[in-house]
Every structure is written in structure tokens, then in C-alpha cells.
Amino acid sequence: MDDEGQPYEPAVIEPRWQARWRDEGTYEVDNDDPRPKSYVLCMYPYPSGAAHMGHVRNYTFGDLLVRYRTMNGQAVLSPIGFDSFGLPAENAAIKTGEHPRPFTEAKIEELTSSLLRLGASYDWRRVIKSHDPSYIRWTQWIFLQFLKAGLAYRAEAPVNWCPGCQTVLANEQVLADGTCERSGDLVQRKNLEQWFFRITDYAQQLLDDIDDLDWPERVKTMQRNWIGRSEGATFHLPVAEREDLSLEVFTTRPDTSFGMTYAVVAPEHPIVAELTADDRRAEVEAFVAHVTGESELERLSSEGPLDKRGVFTGAHVVNPFTGDPIPVYLADYVLATYGTGAIMAVPGQDQRDWDFAKAYDLPVVRTVLPPEDFDGEAYTGEGPAINSEWLDGLGVADAKAKAIEWLEAKGIGERTVQYRLRDWLLSRQRFWGCPIPVIFCDDCGIVPVPEADLPVVAPDDVEFLPTGESPLNHHAGFLNVTCPACGGPGRRETDTMDTFVDSSWYFLRFADPTDDEAPFSLEAVAEWLPVDQYIGGVEHAILHLMYARFFTKALADLGVAPKELREPFARLFTQGMIRKDGMKMSKSKGNLVTPEEYFERFGADALRLFHFFVGPPQDDMDWHDAGIEGSHRFLGRLWRLGVGEAPGTVVDREATPADVEQDRSRHRLIQRVTDGYERWSYNTSVSAFMEFTNGLYHYLQSEDGARRETLDAAVDSVLLLMAPMAPHITAELWERRRGGHIHTEPWPVADPAMTTVATVTMIVQVNGKVRDRIEVDAGIGDDDAVATALASAKVQAHLNGGQPKKVITRPPKLVNLVV
RNA sequence: GCCCGGGUGGCGUAACUGGUAGCCGCGGGGGGCUUAAACCCCCCUGGCCCCUCGGGGCCGUGUGGGUUCGAAUCCCACCCCGGGCACCA
């Protein structure tokens, strides 16, 4: 590039435009904006410092949509916030003794500057931070509404205790191998008083409403599986020789009840002590002690011999179907928390029951006739009932229905539905979270903090203990309060909320972020919600999305949110993960790649373009930066076109057929790119830009040169179409060429008359093999197509003088001659 | 084990409803510009074979079958990779 040229310098132009968008409030929208409304939201980030490539990918996709829809004349709500409570800040505090707040705020600053440097467009007036007292206040207020409505409750529950984090974990935070997702420690089991949200009240709604969501099918399936609805029956098995006692079981296969040859109870089940025969007591107690002392890992991984996993109680219950007494066992694989904590065992129809029966030498009775060629053990398939008296001959579904009718008629059981979904345990024994706003009083019990006293904010003068225990437990000023009900001495709850609580309503607050009368106004939420397009990582497919859906439904039912608002996110897009060397990119693995160096070397536009180009946005990608330079190179080509420094000749003339053809390809580009943006097919859109730009270089260097008017229209169209992808370079070139602000220009529209092509390459096949390609008129008919095909010497050579037996025509694209 | 995705050049990918497989880019090769290099511009680039150098033939989308005039695309079976769930009664 010579000194007189106008070099492409992203490091100069990008910050200038970023400052301008922020200072002018280009992407600020008011709630009474008259344009059609659209709400585009990327999942708000945990502020861990400067952005990494995962953030870049997420916010780049979101930003394209915001800018694209804005150019399409919509008022786009595009807010950003920070999920700023959480463990990393607290762990840092424990290490350094510094309070998590300044630490967190510094991280927010860093992340904000990365987002700005990326060119992401937000309404910066609406920023939300979970740890901000004005946000804490309303999170606590919502908690109190849930408490009032019975949706929040306190219960003693076996919990997952992480010894490393000194805290309780939700089931979701325990990995499949029984370790803590954060610390990697082995999770233990412990009984503690904890706060829960009654999400199970909404299990059926959460399940039903999945159907209407425009979400990836994969995510919908995960949610359905997580809720895990199963239909069946619960019924009572009277304990033999104990008039007063019965064992309640849940089964999905009441049709197989005649084959029930024993029953199994969870070791933690309250009935165990009463059930156990005296001569078995020692052994049973040893077993229970062993099982409850087991870590989650040991208990779940017990795949070995079953004879160590159960114990006979010495008691019998009566199978109400046969009237026969059957033995009762304890086994570690029966869960106290699912169903009734006890099961009927039908070894003939359930493989696990079969295995247990074999290990303990218990009888097997088949109640469904297996097919003749069946050579397995338990048979779980379809077939007529056998050995089942009045059910014999019925198919599975009919037998189920009849068995349930019988149970209900006898008054010993009923049809029931069970869900795998558990209530949401939200207590965390942490400091850096939203305090749970209740006070314990010896006289009044649990007393909610009066709404006027909110927010309850953790004190600053605290000392972080190396044990990891929350300093709130030792802060007298925070701990000791007067009971708001009786004025007597009270003690504050020191647990804080799971950070998923904060993220369960932030998208509502964005509609009305400074409201100090309510978490948000009904009107503001009605204007913007549901979110039209939610964008985030697939790792949040289950928990965050489930909790946010629950909150939305509960808040709507409580009248806090509009009653009609049943779902928070109408459309969801889950982008793929970025991996490095086959591993998930994460700070803890130390394989984070940050965008800063690329901003410097190639610019934000090149990095953004690379993310669009590298592959389909929903696919996982392995990080490699090989393509970024290519994106930068392409932007350089665009730049030279834009400033008139691309090689070739430009002339003023009346349009020649070649000029018209060039302009047609411009219209096809508009069509192709617009379609690509709608379909999230960004990689193909970039490829269309490159193809088109290559075409312009050829056009310029062609013998006749480029017609100025045609060329200008082509370049301007590319700039407009690329503005959502590469907002800085397009804005800069537009301003230099045309004046004004490209991002407030209307989206270009293709002229349908100009998107068609005059001639098409027709392929001619002989017996399905391509033998010739002939340029034909796009409007060619069957007969002409065949005639053209037969006229081809190449085709004739392959026909060997014979006549085709069959001719398939798909004019103007194809003729296939079959000999 | 069950439920989803996905296997296409050296690499990332494209091919929208079955109709030219490999667009675009990376990497590689060649040429131009330059005193030189970088940048930039142009051309070539799936494999094998033939060739009169213009081209021609065969093979080719994880494997094996099938449907069809025609299959990367649809069906069956299998292999591999990724993700989710996993004693849920």
C-alpha cells in the first residue's frame, strides 16, 4: 500500500464507531417506541474478567440480529447485564481477604470493555447486576411473594454436601460420578434444613408448554426427560400380621402385579425401623449405616454383585392381587426421594428385579407371555398377560387399566403420575449471593423480613475464613436482629440463594430496569416479553431454562407478571461450544483464548466475520485461528473496493448486457444473504459475500471495465448487507462514500424481476451419469430440452447409436436418457 | 443401556424439497508487481488412469445392502465420534 492510499486500519476506525454508538445511544430503545418491538437477548454472562471466545461467539450472533432487525425497522430491545454473584469471587476473597464486591466490579469493567471493543450494541442504560442492591431488593421481594404463596418452603432434606465448598449442592451440581461440579470433591449426604422452591407444582405445565416453544428439538427433549413424567399406580401392601401397618409402593406396571414376588424399601424409609424383625435388626441396621455413610459416588456406582446391595428385613407384606405373603428387602438402589420410596418387585418383567431375585434366590413368575423366540431374562415388551387370573389374555395397556380400576374399587390404591423433577433446593451456605430475607424467632418461628426493610444486604466488614464457611455466620451485627413480629430477639438467616434465582427473572427486569415500586411494571413487561430470540450456550439447556420458565409461570400466577405470559423465551437458539484441543474451553482448564490479541492484530470485524464464517453457529467448533487472517484479508478487499483502490477501470456508460448481469447478481446477493440471516446460515452468507466480491474484482479488471453506477450500487449493497456482521468497516465506508449512518439505513430489498437468471446449465445424463452440460434458456420446455440433449455429440457417443428407452426431463436443469 | 446430533478433499465447510458432489475460505503450487521481500493482483489445487495438451475415462460423501431413471440426501443393518439422561420402579 503506498503512502497516498487510504489503508484499512481497524484499530483506528473501530474504537471511533464504538464510542459513537455508545455516546449517541444508537441502540437505546424506549418502552413507548412506536416501531414494531423485538426483544433479542443473549444469556447474561458471569463476569470472570475479559471476554473469552465463547462470549465472543455468543454476543456476536446476538449483535448481528440486533443490527439486522434494527435495519429492518424494528425497535430492538438489546440489554446486557451481569450474573455477578457466585463462587469464584468468593473463593478469590477467601484467598486474598479482599471483599468480593470490588473484585466483581473490576471483572465487570473488564468484560464491559471487551464487549464494547467487540462492537456489541446494547442499551447501556438498562444494565443489570445481580449483586446490585436495587436488584437484590427485588430478588428478595420475589422470594417473599413465593413464601407467602407457599411456593417457597423450608424442609429438612438429605442434601448433597460438598466438603470442599462447605456447602450444599443442588442435585444438578453433582456430576454423574458423584463429585462436585466446581471443586471436584466427593459429595457426601447429610440431613439439613433447607429452603426449597416448589417447582414440582408446575411439573405438568412445564411439560405441556414445551410443545409450543420454538426451541431446538434437542433442548425440548432434554427438558422433557428432566421432568420425567411417568404414569402408574400407587397402592398399599398390608404388612403381614400387622393390622396397623402397610407399605405404599409406586409402579408403572400395575399389570404385572401378579408377578410381584418380593418388595424393596429404600434404606432411609421411615418404615424401616418398624418393619424390621428383631432377629434381623442388627444386620439391617448395619446395612442402613453402611448405605447412608456411603458417598453419592459409591452408592451410584455399585454395579458389582447385588448380594451386597440389599438385606432382608424379616418382614412380609401381602401381595393384594394374589393374597400371598412376600418378603420385604432393603436395597440401596431404591431411592427414598422418588415415588413412595418403596417398590413392588416383579423379576419376570424387570431386569433389575430379576438380577436381585437371582442374587437372593427369590422366585420369578412371568406375567407377560414373551414371544417364542425370546431367550432373555426379564421380558419388558408387549404381550398377553399370563399367570394373572382375571388379567390373563389382556394386552399391557388394557391390563394396566383394569388393574388400576381394581385397586381403586378395592380402595387400596389409585392411578398416579410421578415426576423425576425434584423441588428446587435454593439454600447456599455462601456469602457472595443474594441473602434469603427471613428472620428466625424463638417465639414466632420463621418471620419474613418486612418488604420495607429490603434489601437485606450482606455487610462489608467481614472476615473470610480459610475453611470456606460463610462469614455471615460470625458477624454479630448482621446475625442479631429484633423480630419484626414480636420485637424479641431474632436471628437472621445466613444462607444465600442459588445464583440461578438471580438469572430466573433478570430478563423481566430488563423491560423496566430502574423501577423502584416493583420488580418491573406489568405494562413494560407486556410491551417486550416474551423474549423474541434468546441466545446462549447449550450447557444451560436444562437448569437455567427450566428455572426461568418456572419463575415466569409463578410470577404470572401471582399477578406480578402479566397473566398471559406463560413462557419467557419464545425462540431459543443454542450456539455450539468452543473446544480447544478436544476439551471444553474454560478458565479452570487454562485453555481460554481471549479476543484481545485479535482485536489488535486484525480488528473486531475480522474476528466477528471469522465466527460467522467458520461453521454453522449451532455446531461445536474446535478452536483454530487459521481463518481469522483470511477474514481480515477479505475485509481488506472490501475496503479497497469501498475507497476506490481496487485494481481495474471504472467508466461512465449506458448499461451493457454484462452490466445488467452484474446488477442481477447484486439482487441475488440481497436475496441470498437475507435468507441466510433468517436461517442462521451465516457461514453461507459470508461465502456469498466473498463470491460476490471476487466477482466485482473480475468485473473491474474485465476488458470493458466496470460501469460506475453498477459498481457503486454493488458496493453499497454489500456494505448494507454486511453491516450486521462487520459493523465498523461498513459504517466507516458508508460514511465516506455516502455520508450518514449505515446502521439506521433501511435493509435492501431484492427486485424479484432481477433475481432470475436468463440461462441455466442443463445437465444431460445417460443412465444417470452426467455426460454433458449445456447452457439453455431458463424457460426451456420438455421437448426442446430433450432435442437439445440429443443434439449433443457427447451424449450421442454414449448412446452408441441407440434410442433411449426412457427419458426423464426436469427442465431447465436436467435431462436423463435411459438406454 | 436409552434418547438426540454428526461422519463429505490435507483442514474448516457447501450442496434449501433426491437432480452438475466439493461453493467459499485455510493450507499448498504456479505466475505477475517489486532492486528484493512483505502486502497486493491473477491462475491451478479430491484420487487414480489415459492423452494428440484441447481434453477424455474410471473411482469417490464412515461400512455393507436396498429403493430409484438418478442417492451425500430416503430405507435397513453395522462401525466410529460428540452430547444428554442413567438404578426413576
Residue A590 CB neighbour total at 10 angstroms: 9
Task: Name the β-bridge partners of A637.
Answer: none
Q: Helix A10-24 crosses helix A100-118 at what angle (to 10 degrees)?
A: 110
Nucleotide nearest to A767 (CA to C1'): B69
User: Distance, angstroms, CA A300 to C1' B77?
Assistant: 34
A692-711: string of b/e by CB count within 10 Å (b at 16+)?
A: bbeebbebbeeeeebbeebb
Q: Which nucleotide is nearest to A806 (CA to C1')?
A: B69
Q: Answer whether any strand B atom is within 7 A of the Cβ of A426.
A: no
Q: Which of A2-6, A101-105, A460-464 has the highest mean pLDDT?
A: A101-105
Which residues 536-565 in chain A have a CB closer than 7 A to strand B?
Answer: 538-539, 541-542
> How does DSSP classify residue A540?
G
Which residues 97-126 of chain A have a CB under 7 Å from nucleic chain B?
none
Q: Among A63-67, A635-639, A646-650, A794-798, name the one with the lowest average pLDDT.
A: A794-798
Residue A388 exposure: Cα atoms within 13 Å on the Cβ side? 27
**pLDDT exceeds cutoff 50 at A1:** no
The packing angle between helices A682-701 and A708-722, to 10°, is: 160
Cα A554 to chain centroid, rounded = 20
Residue A699 CA, nucleotide B32 C1', distance (Å):
19
User: What are the φ and ψ backbone dihedral angles of A7, each rounded to 5 degrees?
Assistant: -70, 155
- Are A261 and A318 in contact by the 8 Å Cβ rule? The answer is no
Residue A504 to residue A543: CA distance in whole angstroms: 10
pLDDT at A429: 85
Taking only the tens place, the pLDDT of each residue in A165-177 is 777 666 656 665 6
**C-alpha cell, A72:** 429492518
Greatest mean pLDDT range, A7-11, A422-426, A730-734? A730-734
Cα separation of A357 and A279, whole Å?
22
The DSSP H or E segment spanning A642 is helix A626-642
Partner residues linked to A569 by β-bridges: A531
Q: Find where cell 423474549 sits.
A: A531
Residues 472-491 on chain A lying near strand B, CB distance under 7 A: none
Point out the residue nearest to B84 (C-alpha to C1'). A222
Please give the Cα distance from A712 to A720 (Å, whole number). 12
Distance A695 CA to B56 C1' (A): 30
Beta bridge partners of A37: A75
A499: confidence class by pLDDT, cuts 50, 70, 90: very high
What is the SS3 assignment for A237? strand
At A444-459, the pLDDT tens digits run 999 999 999 989 999 9
C-alpha cell at A750: 431484492
Distance A222 CA to B84 C1' (A): 7
Q: How far apart are CA A80 and CA A102, in angstroms?
A: 20
Question: Residues of A from 678 to 717 whose C-beta is within 7 A of strand B: which are they?
Answer: 681, 683-684, 686-687, 690-691, 694, 697-698, 701
Place of cell 487510504: A6
Cβ atoms of residues A43 and A524 within 8 Å: no
> What tens digit of pLDDT does each residue of A759-778 get?
888 888 888 888 888 888 88
Q: Is the C-alpha dihedral spanning A99, A102, A105, A110 positive or negative? A: negative
Q: Strand B contacts (CB < 7 A) among A residues 33-72?
A: none
Return the pLDDT at A700: 94
Q: If you measure CA to C1', which residue is closest to nucleotide B12?
A: A614
Q: Which residue has the least CA–C1' distance to nucleotide B14? A: A684
Give the range among A314-328, A584-598, A627-641 with minimum mean pLDDT: A584-598
Nucleotides of B under 7 A from a protein CB: 3-5, 11-16, 19-21, 23-27, 39-43, 56-58, 69-71, 82-89
Query: Considering only CA atoms, which residue is closest to the C1' of nucleotide B56?
Result: A794
How many other CB atoms are found less than 10 A from the CB of residue A752? 9
Helix H, strand E, coil C: the string for A55-123 is: HHHHHHHHHHHHHHHHHCCCEEECCCEECCCCHHHHHHHHHHCCCHHHHHHHHHHHHHHHHHHHCCCCC
Residue A316's DSSP bridge partners are A327
Hey, which bits of A666-707 come out as E strands? 706-707
Query: Which nucleotide across the nucleic acid strands is nearest to A332, CA versus C1'?
Result: B87
ipTM exceeding the 0.90 mark: yes
Find out whether A10 and A728 touch, Cβ atoms under 8 Å.
yes
List of A residues 624-643 with CB within 7 A of strand B: 624, 626-627, 629-631, 633-634, 636-637, 640
> Which nucleotide in the DNA or RNA is closest to residue A232, CA to C1'?
B89
Report the percentage of chain A scoring pLDDT > 90: 65
Can you tell me which residue has the cell 483506528? A12
Which helix or strand (DSSP H or E) is residue A737 part of? Answer: helix A727-738
The total of other beta-carbon atoms located within 10 Å of residue A239's CB is: 21
What whole-number distance in Å separates Cα of residue A572 and Cα of residue A27? Answer: 22
> Please, which pLDDT band fits residue A442 given cuts at 50, 70 and 90?
very high
Residues 770-809 of A with CB under 7 A from strand B: 770-771, 773, 794, 798, 806, 808
Choice among A199-213, A709-723, A794-808 with the minimum mean pLDDT = A794-808
Are A730 and A781 contacting, i.e. CB atoms less than 8 angstroms apart? no
User: Gap from A813 CA to B52 C1', in Å?
Assistant: 34
Residues 284-323 (A) near nucleic chain B, CB < 7 A: 299-303, 309
A352 touches strand B (CB under 7 A): yes
Q: How far apart are CA A672 and CA A677, in angstroms?
A: 9
Range with the lowest mean pLDDT among A37-46, A123-132, A155-164, A501-510?
Answer: A155-164
Please give the nucleotide, over all strands, whose C1' is closest to the CA of residue A249: B89
Whether any strand B atom is under 7 angstroms from the Cβ of A811: the reply reads no
Question: Does the CB of A350 fall within 7 Å of any strand B atom?
Answer: yes
d(CA A110, CA A54): 16
Q: Is the CB of A675 under 7 A from strand B?
A: yes
To the nearest 10°, report the CA torsion of A295, A296, A299, A304. -100
Backbone region of residue A603 per phi and psi (left: phi > 0; alpha: psi in -120 to 50; beta: other values): left
With CA of A773 and C1' of each nucleotide, the nearest comes out as: B20
pLDDT band (50, 70, 90) for residue A3: very low
**Peptide bond just before A455 cis, omega within 30 deg:** yes
pLDDT by residue (tens digit) across A369-411? 988 777 778 888 888 999 999 999 999 989 999 999 999 999 9
Yes or no: say if A620 and A579 are a contact pair by the CB < 8 Å rule.
yes
